[in-house]
Chain A
Amino acid sequence: MPNNANELTELGIAAIREGVAKGEFTATEVAAAFNAAVAAAQPALNAFIVTTPEKALDAAAKVDADRAAGKALGKMAGVPIGMKDLFATKGVQTTAASRILEGFTPEYESTVSSKLWDAGAGMLGKLNLDQFAMGSSNETSAFGNVISPWRRPGDTAPLAPGGSSGGSSAAVAARLAPAATGTDTGGSIRQPAAFTGISGIKPTYGRCSRWGIVAFASSLDQAGPMARDVRDCAIMLEAMAGFDPKDATSLDLPVPAWEAGLSGDLRGKKVGIPREYRMDGMDPDVAKSWDDGIAWLKDAGAEIVDISLPHTKYALPTYYIIAPAEASSNLARYDGVRYGLRELPDGANLQDMYAATRAAGFGAEVKRRILIGTYVLSAGFYDAYYTQAQKVRTLISHDFKNAFTEVDVILAPTAPTAAFALGEKSDDPLAMYLNDVFSVPASLAGLPAMSVPAGVDRNGLPLGLQVIGKAFDEQGVLNAGLAIEQRAGFSAKPAKWW
């Protein structure tokens, strides 16, 4: 029975929920322990943009009171979590890690965060991220880089926690939170999870309401949990998902009991190995972890099938047309008129105000994507870029549909490498974009996909494996993830240096 703060912060969602329910410790003790860990790590890791220890304690006190009163406890009762600062939180600054929203305090709560609070979770703070979720290393935040808790052996060079949910991954890996919300547009849950040795799932597009999440690319954005293991992901996803009439793209389907349905027994299941993902010059450690994964799933009873997803090589360019196109329009509302930053130089007219506000408010990567998006939607270029990209997107979806007539899930690496050092790719957008090469196809097809830790590379840094499932089959994805988790025996964790 854990009784000191260090032991409490080692616990995940299921263990905390159980301990609180059984009275082994109180929710307030848990919240206090994580609050302390957050405060201690903040100067070194910069995982949070704002911390809200009082919110965590308030939620915990309510859970403790409910328990004392004999009331039924929610799925996440007593679990304090980190909230990616892309979710609108009532009364708490919500910035998308951009200067243009600095000081913006919504009068509303996102659907997903509301559901988590209703399930008994509490908020430790708002997590740092790439600005407007655009980035793969958390280097585009206006509030500073997030530093990964991981380091290469004998090297103090700061590593990237992945992006865009880099604050989330760093916080969960560093035991500052048992779990955190993420959002995934082209891999922003899976890649940071892989970089930091944690689990994360992007559900089927439409499972989690987008209402109250600052939009990046509407047709791709999905919220999902990032946690220590597969079971915790299942628990938290159940609390986050569900039909929301306020989001027209929300799936009007009941939320399955994913936790209860967990099973690592894959007998009778077929796992597809897409040959196009085995690229020339692939990192040998990544290739080896993929082979390990294949062996583990075979061991779990699955049949391994070689499959083809022929349009894979077009996924990245397609993504980098569609996502910026949508973003260029979604971000037009940040104009200095109604909220957020307003730059009004002397004698400025309306156009001058727009230009000055957006020049000062948006970071370089956001501007780059707005420019790309504006360009691909422009008269004369629209058909060549946007229309063509939509056609290719359809072909990519068909690739998956065809594959899923034969197999139940697909196994692939999450990212082409383990975590890289900060600054290593930040001057080369194309090299940075290549990080999404394995994660983007499932995003374009709207499919559920998760990353689970599979081992470490030659430098002792975590590697993730990705499981992609059929639409609505989060259960199949979680179960394959669990089978890997049970066999990978991943126990590495960052040595505490902060």
Chain B
Amino acid sequence: MNSYRIQGATGDWEVVIGLEVHAQVTSNAKLFSGSATAFGAEPNSQVSLVDAAMPGMLPVPNRECIRQAVRTGMAINAQINKWSRFDRKNYFYADLPQGYQISQLYHPLVGEGTIEIQLDDKDPESTKTIGIERIHVEQDAGKLMHDQHPTMSYVDLNRSGVALMEIVSRPDMRSPAEAGAYLTKLRTILRYVGSCDGNMDQGSMRADVNVSVRRPGEPFGTRTETKNVNSVRFVMQAIEHEANRQVDVLESGGKIVQETRLFDPDSGSTRSMRSKEDAHDYRYFPDPDLLPLELDDAFLEECRASLPELPDAKRHRYETVLGLSPYNAGVLTADVETARWFEKLLAESAGKQGKGEADVAKQAANWLTSELFGALNKLGRGLEDSPVSPEGAAELLALVGDGTISGSIAKQVLEKMLETGDGAAAIVEREGLKQTSDTGAIEAVVDKVLADNADKVEQYRGGKEALFGFFVGQTMKAMQGKANPQLVNELLKKKLG
């Protein structure tokens, strides 16, 4: 693997990156109140007395949020702390009704874990393990709206109290690409586990990006933290910009200031928000409204038992048990919905063709990654809103499998399926697309093709063997593609001598 380096005027620089990802826990209710958590609701329509921090209101932990965070920890092979505690992070802001955020500083729910990334889908050697330092659960804040009134800001507390997991990586990444791969892989895992929907555009997942630069082999430099970056692309841009900025500062004799920065998606650059000197003293202390969180073995066992097959295991199984190429296995497991679709197709295909799943897996995988993905791409759709269902696709593949239609006819049938929503068998029947294996009929056409192209036959016999494909094409064309390709090949070979 080539090391990513920034070429400065005075030599090469290495970039050191750590990410703190805030992932909204998938749950119907907030971390410490029963309020709903739907995205896009009317401002202040999902706010309980607790979320608004009315006098005398108390937080009560939501078991489902804890369960999801524990399952997430298990999915990254992390240590689950059976004893953890909530702390208050105190600061004043209008979107923070309590005047403190309930978080976990001293005793997080989840300890150290790892995530494996692969930088190149086709290169199994390009994997790298990224350390996870911890996952803790905490409350989200509300949102200020500055565009509602000429001189005042409004506050929307719908997000106030929503459960977040803060997933803190080790400073183990060394390039924007690694950070991108890490974030993508983390998102994949969260979606497999079902603990976060991973919708970065809706703010369900956002990253604080810690970046520093150093001469290769030297100790870590001073880092900056760029807050709330909300897409994989932006994270990569922010790192690239920030690392280059730091190199410029250092090479011109300056010093990096430990500070919080903001990413501007329009310019792709970062700018200073506040420096360490203005940093808050958060006065963390254990929240006296809450008892320590103690998890028993039965609860942990239930969390573990509810975990699905995770992406790395699934990918490995696709390669070893189903015999798929590493590329196909990677593509099909990159998103949980794709894997689910593929596995339905696999089950239906095996059933319809009376074969084992491993026997139809390559056919199904190739068709899905090349034919259906390509067709959906043209329509500007994804698998989630595909007009063709796994059952419908299995019907089509079964027709290819038993020789009723050829692969090239199958492409036409798929197009019709996408157009009309009809089933594959019905389309083949209606359009008369069944493959012909009538030797007599094919032979008659072959004879005509050879007679019509006597000059080319002569060239072929003179050694221009590449013309064989031309004869095949002419024959198939004359038969509207319905001839059994194998028979066409055999007859042509025989006649051309």
Identity of the chain A residue whose Cβ is nearest the Cβ of B100 in the assembled complex = A329
Which B206-236 residues have a C-beta within 8 angstroms of A?
none
Binary contact track A204-230/B, C-beta < 8 Å → 1, others 0: 000000111111011100000000000
Which B147-202 residues have a C-beta within 8 angstroms of A?
153, 155
Indicate whether A245 reaches chain B with its CB closer than 8 angstroms. yes
CB pair B290 A248 closer than 8 Å: yes
Indicate whether A6 reaches chain B with its CB closer than 8 angstroms. no
Which of chain B's residues have a CB closer than 8 A to the CB of A107?
49
Identity of the chain B residue whose Cβ is nearest the Cβ of A247 in the assembled complex = B58
Given contacts A218-B289, A333-B97, A333-B99, are A211 and B57 in contact (CB under 8 A)?
yes
Q: In the complex, A377→B99 CA distance in Å?
A: 15
User: B285: which of A248, A325, A351 is its contact (CB, 8 Å)?
Assistant: A325
Indicate whether B54 reaches chain A with its CB closer than 8 angstroms. yes
Q: In the complex, A219→B291 CA distance in Å?
A: 10
Given contacts A218-B289, A337-B94, are A332 and B55 in contact (CB under 8 A)?
no
Indicate whether B288 reaches chain A with its CB closer than 8 angstroms. yes
Task: Specify which of A94, A104, A329 lies most central, judged by the most chain B CB atoms within 10 Å of its CB.
Answer: A329
Identity of the chain A residue whose Cβ is nearest the Cβ of B56 in the assembled complex = A212
User: B55: which of A101, A326, A351 is its contact (CB, 8 Å)?
Assistant: A101
Q: In the complex, A350→B154 CA distance in Å?
A: 12
Identity of the chain B residue whose Cβ is nearest the Cβ of A104 in the assembled complex = B55
Q: In the complex, A382→B153 CA distance in Å?
A: 35
Q: How many residues of B contact A (CB 8 A)?
A: 30
Q: In the complex, A350→B288 CA distance in Å?
A: 28
Indicate whether B71 reaches chain A with its CB closer than 8 angstroms. no
CB pair B291 A335 closer than 8 Å: no
Which of chain B's residues have a CB closer than 8 A to the CB of A211?
56-58
Identity of the chain B residue whose Cβ is nearest the Cβ of A377 in the assembled complex = B283
Q: In the complex, A325→B100 CA distance in Å?
A: 13
Indicate whether A110 reaches chain B with its CB closer than 8 angstroms. yes
Given contacts A377-B90, A382-B285, are A214 and B155 in contact (CB under 8 A)?
no
Binary contact track B57-81/A, C-beta < 8 Å → 1, others 0: 1111100000000000000000000
Which of chain A's residues have a CB closer than 8 A to the CB of B85?
none
Indicate whether B297 reaches chain A with its CB closer than 8 angstroms. no
Binary contact track B353-375/A, C-beta < 8 Å → 1, others 0: 00000000000000000000000
Q: In the complex, A8→B187 CA distance in Å?
A: 71
A-B CB contacts (within 8 Å), total count: 99
Binary contact track A327-339/B, C-beta < 8 Å → 1, others 0: 0110111010111
User: Taking chain A's interface residues, is the majority helix, strand, or loop, or is none over half, making it mixed?
Assistant: loop
Which of chain B's residues have a CB closer than 8 A to the CB of A326?
288
Which of chain B's residues have a CB closer than 8 A to the CB of A213?
56
CB pair B98 A332 closer than 8 Å: yes
Q: In angstroms, how far is the closest chain A Cβ from the Cβ of B126?
A: 43
Given contacts A218-B289, A378-B281, are A332 and B90 in contact (CB under 8 A)?
yes
User: A218: which of B90, B153, B281, B288 is its contact (CB, 8 Å)?
Assistant: B288
CB pair A332 B99 closer than 8 Å: yes
Given contacts A218-B289, A246-B60, A378-B281, are A333 and B98 in contact (CB under 8 A)?
yes
Q: In the complex, A92→B13 CA distance in Å?
A: 67
Given contacts A329-B90, A329-B283, are A248 and B61 in contact (CB under 8 A)?
yes
CB pair B56 A219 closer than 8 Å: no
Q: In angstroms, how far is the closest chain B Cβ from the Cβ of A389?
A: 11
Q: In the complex, A94→B88 CA distance in Å?
A: 26
Q: In angstroms, how far is the closest chain B Cβ from the Cβ of A345?
A: 13
Identity of the chain B residue whose Cβ is nearest the Cβ of A101 in the assembled complex = B55
Q: In angstroms, how far is the closest chain A Cβ from the Cβ of B59?
A: 7
Q: In angstroms, how far is the closest chain A Cβ from the Cβ of B86?
A: 10
Binary contact track B285-303/A, C-beta < 8 Å → 1, others 0: 1001111000000000000
Which of chain B's residues have a CB closer than 8 A to the CB of A247?
58, 60
Q: In angstroms, how far is the closest chain A Cβ from the Cβ of B484?
A: 72
Which of chain B's residues have a CB closer than 8 A to the CB of A378?
281, 283
User: B56: which of A215, A331, A354 is its contact (CB, 8 Å)?
Assistant: A215
Indicate whether B376 reaches chain A with its CB closer than 8 angstroms. no
- Extra pairs beyond A326-B288, A379-B283, A382-B284 (11, CB < 8 Å): A211-B56, A218-B289, A245-B60, A246-B60, A248-B61, A329-B100, A332-B99, A332-B100, A338-B97, A339-B55, A350-B93
Binding site for B on A (CB under 8 A): 87-88, 94, 96, 101, 104, 106-108, 110, 210-215, 217-219, 245-249, 325-326, 328-329, 331-333, 335, 337-339, 350-351, 354, 374, 377-379, 382, 386
Q: List 16 A-B contacts (CB under 8 A).
A: A94-B55, A106-B56, A213-B56, A218-B289, A247-B58, A248-B58, A248-B289, A249-B289, A249-B290, A328-B283, A332-B92, A338-B53, A338-B54, A338-B97, A338-B155, A354-B92
Question: Which 6 A-B residue pairs are closest in the complex by CB-CB distance?
Answer: A332-B99, A377-B283, A218-B288, A219-B288, A333-B53, A212-B56
